[in-house]
């Protein structure tokens, strides 16, 4: 069983991506035996008014909701986000939200950021925060966003420990700096099972309930994350937590729902 908490569909303005449609993503998931995935819009990051990207995402994933869990993209500095959030939940039936303070000009812990985090939390949603979307060293000259610092994420998690946080493309988060009661997952695509051993380190400082499998598709190749699960020196129950159980709990998925994987990529409209 595998749940990938870090996937996207859509277009990145600075590099051609492949497998970046719902069907393309599902084919990649099938190839790797990934049962379900949290997915958000890429180009929605760059829409001034992000909500149409949520409508596009909802439409594209509608036939694959048994496997794809669409997450909203919203900017809390843009007018009307509260109504857009309501529409995402009630009309589009999205399942959570992915935030980009580094692209949208706010901080997770300022008034705008906390207002959106609180509103999403009130819906029972998980809140995802990618530390980065792409590597800073190869960014386009118009892509000015800096990585979120681990301290910024730790501050936000500490301020809102009841929120279901998911840190994507995370690195440097230290469980010892976070409250025991905090609900958070750090996704493993930038962590390591061997050599630097950042996964074992996080297991030690945070515990096995705070890690989740993620690939970063279609930006990244999925195999490194699969390799980490394979070679991690940890009991099977810990690997199972990372592979899917922690994500299922955070996303409010029952085990029976998670187990219903089919071959959706081949499904006809």
Positions in the binding site for other proteins (CB under 8 A): 1-2, 15-19, 31-34, 135-141, 190, 192-197, 216-231, 236, 239-240, 243
Distance from the Cα of residue 130 to its chain's centroid: 7
Closest CB 19 distance from other proteins, rounded Å: 7
- Which whole-number Å values give the CA distances from 139 to 105, 143, 148, in the listed order? 18, 6, 15
Cβ closest to other proteins, residue 123 vs residue 229: 229
E strands present in 125-210: 126-130, 164-168, 184-187
Could you tell me the smallest distance in angstroms from the CB atom of residue 83 to other proteins? 36
Task: Tell the smallest beta-carbon distance from residue 121 to other proteins (Å).
Answer: 32
The pair of structure tokens assigned to 8 is 């996207």
CA 176 distance to own-chain centroid: 22
Residue among 82 and 223 whose Cβ is closer to other proteins: 223
67 vs 228, beta carbon nearer other proteins: 228
Exposure string of 99-135, with b = 16+ CB inside 10 Å and e = fewer, is bbbbbbebebbeebbbebbebbbebebbbbbbbbbbe
Non-local (6+) Cβ contacts of 22 within 8 A are 9, 39, 60, 61, 63, 64, 68
d(CA 264, CA 35): 10
Name the residue nearer to other proteins (CB basis): 114 or 265.
265
Nearest to 128 by CA among 195, 34, 200, 41: 41
* In the complex, least distance from residue 5 CB atom to other proteins, rounded to whole angstroms: 15
**Element (DSSP H or E) covering residue 154:** helix 150-159
Phi-psi region of 169 (alpha: psi -120 to 50; beta: other; left: phi over 0): left
Nearer to other proteins, 113 or 218 (CB): 218
In the complex, the smallest distance separating the C-beta of residue 55 from other proteins, rounded to whole angstroms, is 26
| Shortest distance in whole angstroms from residue 226 CB to other proteins | 5
CB-nearer residue toward other proteins: 45 or 50: 45
Q: How far is the CB of 131 from other proteins (least distance, A)?
A: 13
Nearer to other proteins, 110 or 223 (CB): 223
């Amino acid at each position: 069983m595998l749940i990938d908490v870090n996937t996207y569909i859509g277009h990145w303005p600075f590099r051609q991506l492949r497998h970046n449609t719902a069907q393309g993503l599902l084919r990649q998931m099938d190839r790797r035996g990934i049962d379900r995935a949290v997915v958000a819009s890429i180009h929605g990051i760059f829409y001034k008014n992000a909500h149409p990207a949520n409508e596009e995402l909802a439409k594209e994933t509608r036939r694959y909701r048994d496997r794809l869990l669409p997450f909203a993209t919203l900017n809390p500095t843009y007018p009307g986000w509260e109504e857009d959030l309501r529409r995402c939940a009630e009309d589009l039936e999205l399942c959570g939200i992915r935030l980009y303070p580094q692209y949208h000009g706010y901080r997770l812990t300022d008034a705008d950021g906390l207002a959106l985090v609180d509103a999403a939390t009130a819906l029972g949603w998980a809140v995802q925060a990618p530390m980065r979307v792409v590597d800073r060293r190869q960014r386009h000259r118009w892509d000015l966003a800096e990585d979120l610092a681990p301290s910024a994420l730790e501050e936000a998690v500490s301020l809102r420990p009841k929120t279901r946080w998911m840190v994507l493309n995370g690195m440097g988060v230290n469980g010892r700096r976070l409250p025991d009661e905090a609900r958070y997952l750090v996704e493993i695509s930038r962590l390591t099972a061997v050599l630097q051993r950042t996964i074992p380190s996080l297991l030690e400082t945070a515990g096995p309930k705070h890690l989740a499998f993620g690939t970063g598709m279609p930006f990244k190749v999925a195999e490194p994350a699969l390799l980490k699960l394979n070679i991690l020196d940890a009991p099977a129950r810990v690997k199972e937590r990372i592979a899917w159980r922690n994500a299922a709990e955070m996303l409010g998925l029952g085990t029976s729902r998670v187990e219903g994987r089919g071959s959706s990529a081949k499904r006809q409209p």
